[in-house]
Chains A and B, each alone.
Chain A
Amino acid sequence: MQVVSPIREHLVTGGKNYHDVTDDICKQVEGAPTKEWKIVFTIALLVFAYGGYWVYQTWWNGLGVWGLNKTVGWAWDITNFVWWVGIGHAGTLISAILLIFRQKWRTSINRAAEAMTIFAVMCAGTFIFLHMGRPWLAYWALPLPNTFGSLWVNFNSPLVWDVFAISTYFSVSLLFWYIGMIPDLATIRDRATGIRKVIYGSLAMGWTGGARAWARYEDVSLILAGLSTPLVLSVHTIVSMDFATSVIPGWHTTIFPPYFVAGAIFSGFAMVQNLMLIVRVVYKLEDYITIEHISLMNKIITVTGSIVGVAYITEFFIAAYSGVQYESYAFLNRATGPLWWSYAAMMTCNVISPQIFWVRKLRENIIVSFVIAVVVNIGMWFERFVIIVTSLYRDYLPSSWAYFTPRMGDIGDYLFTFGFFFVFFLLFAKFLPVINMAEVKAVLKSSSSEKPRARK
């Protein structure tokens, strides 16, 4: 028997029964694409194609199409890479950490968040290949026996750790996502006919929903969550070590690992918020993605936003306290130098803006939530830009100091990943169940506004 808490808000409204859940979620997969979907998909495809042109320019002409200069050897490429990896983290967080903590509210949003993880990590990977300059030699980063003598990759290098971390993270997330989808694919299979039955049938791999299979399935899910939780923390920790193990003032900071992880959760949740608010309206899923879900995500955004705020202040304090003049200068220059506006944007978007969610009315307002989530994502992009560019553009030699201005190559490549992300996310939302039906059904009895009744 399930216990219904009287003080908890309902996670599924509208008095749904099990069959309603199936119908509501399968409707998107089984029906023809809606007009809204077609319009958004066309826009995404155009952005993807335009960005694709700049990817071609980057690979054909080399990194000269970017605005890099004598001191700024990394700029938008790594900013975008870290930003996209961070975006991806919320998916794993929702599916893994909230599963371990038995948070039922994850059930409506975990599938889309995991999809977001997969595509965001692919976008992040794109920048790795782009900034290599010679992407056809990407396999050099792998520990493969080669023809250059017995020359191996340097396992002491954080960039090699990145190769292992990102590829493991991507493949384990993909596995977690797919295993989580098997029961829902079986539901679609059992409703489909013709070629669709064959396709969804092969994707469902013969799932029948027996009690033994469910018990093993739940065991696998829980262990995968247990494995993914430290994995997700390790990935952004390693990404931060790309900077932290260097000797550049502004990068060589021990606070980076937890600070990057908090930032990743912060920006990831903001992106989940944006995507879920769009999916909610376009697919009319207001009964599944409720105000309670939006409010809970806003609470996480406020907490993690405050954590990164503390990290910014700590960084500043430690730079001054260390007594290292280069370190102190790097931080003062960030806030007051020629790129002060990027620092101001970061502080305003990340630290100040989420604090409005202390007010319940604003936390439960859809438009405010959407706008703040966009602002947070912009702010987190600036955070990475501030760390990377403001640490590099003024090095030890004042004669080398330069200012960074992006060129069309930088902007075009970033647009490419946006197009890529939305094209794939929209394809996912059309052809796969966007909400985890099996898990929503499992919490329906204890979290619905009415007890599920039998189908009429």
Chain B
Amino acid sequence: MAHKKYILGVFEDEDVVKNAVTDIRGKGVNIHEVYSPYPVHGLDHVLGYARPRMGVAAFLFGLTGTCLAFLLTFWTLGFDWPMNIGGKNFIPFPTNIPIVFELTVLLASYGMAFTFFGMERLTPLSKPVIFDERITDDKFVMAIELGKNKVSESDIQEALKNSGASEVNLKEI
């Protein structure tokens, strides 16, 4: 399997890494990804990523839950086996609302969560590419793939150092 070569800029501070992203992208360098131990607000914006829209998945799955719940409650007690319970309607709208609400929330939550797992390829058996084990501890790491950049290796290293990286490493994966 062909190996890919990455330059890794290691940073100590979230503000420094955010400014570095702007600097380095301004020099025409294509950044593979920036890794951090916690969510850095605005980092996705400076990297030029589109706003995450997990709410769309939540809405669609929630709507499915609502429809399923209405179908379940109406069909079972309204058509499949109507029972006279204290003279109540066979299809009582208000008393089915709790069921509809709960199933809406259930499907919206799980549907969105599994969409997220799928988009991020998060599975118990996945073998992630870990650029630096300190990413999940205290370092902010900018990974730049050499093969995808026209800027020379030395220029990228120089740019990383100038923008505040405490270390610049090379890694082949």
Contacts and interface: CB of A to CB of B under 8 A. Distances in A.
Given A172-B109, A438-B39, 17 more contacts: A154-B77, A155-B95, A155-B96, A161-B102, A164-B103, A176-B109, A179-B116, A189-B136, A207-B128, A208-B130, A211-B34, A214-B43, A216-B119, A219-B53, A219-B55, A224-B112, A442-B38
A203 interface: yes
Interface string B59-100: 000100000000011001100110101001000100110110
B122 A218 contact: no
Interface in A118-177: 143, 149-152, 154-156, 160-161, 164-165, 168, 171-172, 175-176
18 contacts: A22-B138, A152-B76, A154-B83, A156-B96, A161-B99, A165-B102, A168-B105, A175-B109, A187-B137, A190-B133, A206-B121, A212-B44, A214-B40, A215-B51, A224-B109, A224-B113, A437-B37, A455-B138
A18 B37 contact: yes
B54 A152 contact: no
Contacts of A445: 14
A205 B125 CA distance: 7
A234 interface: yes
Nearest to A206: B126
Given A154-B77, A172-B105, A238-B98, A205 B40 contact: no
A455 B62 CA distance: 45
B137 A206 contact: no
Contact of A231 (B105, B117, B127): B105
B119 A208 contact: no
B152 to A, nearest CB: 25
Nearest to B54: A219
B166 interface: yes
B159 interface: no
Given A190-B136, A454-B12, A216 B54 contact: yes
Interface of A: 1, 17-19, 22, 143, 149-152, 154-156, 160-161, 164-165, 168, 171-172, 175-176, 179, 182-183, 186-187, 189-191, 202-203, 205-220, 223-224, 227-228, 230-231, 234, 238, 437-439, 441-442, 445, 454-455
The 8 A-B residue pairs with the shortest CB-CB distance in the complex, in nearest-first order: A206-B126, A18-B138, A206-B128, A215-B44, A205-B122, A152-B76, A161-B98, A202-B124
B134 to A, nearest CB: 8
A19 B138 contact: yes
B1 interface: no
A12 to B, nearest CB: 13
Contact of A211 (B43, B77, B134): B43
B38 to A, nearest CB: 4
A154 B85 contact: yes
Contact of B128 (A156, A208, A218, A234): A208
Contacts of A215: 39, 43-44, 49, 51-52
Contacts of A219: 52-55
A217 B98 CA distance: 29
B110 A175 contact: yes
B14 to A, nearest CB: 7
Q: How large is the interface on B (under 10, 10 to 19, 20 to 34, 35 or more residues)?
A: 35 or more
B125 A220 contact: no
A164 B85 contact: no
A413 B125 CA distance: 40
Nearest to A176: B109
B85 A156 contact: yes
A156 B92 contact: yes
Contacts of A206: 121-123, 126-128
Given A186-B136, A208-B128, A227-B105, A164 B81 contact: no
B129 A208 contact: yes
B172 interface: no
A441 B110 contact: no
Contact of B73 (A150, A155, A217, A439): A155
Contacts of B124: 202-203, 205
A210 B21 CA distance: 14
A220 B77 contact: no
A394 B96 CA distance: 33
A204 B101 CA distance: 31
Between B72, B85, B112, B123, the greatest number of chain A beta carbons within 10 A of the residue's beta carbon is seen for: B112
B8 interface: no
Contacts of A454: 12, 138, 166
A452 to B, nearest CB: 8
B76 to A, nearest CB: 4
A257 B83 CA distance: 28
B33 interface: yes
A227 B109 contact: yes
Contact of B81 (A150, A208, A209, A442): A150
A223 B116 CA distance: 12
Contacts of A441: 37-38, 138
Contact of A208 (B15, B35, B38, B49): B35
B170 interface: no
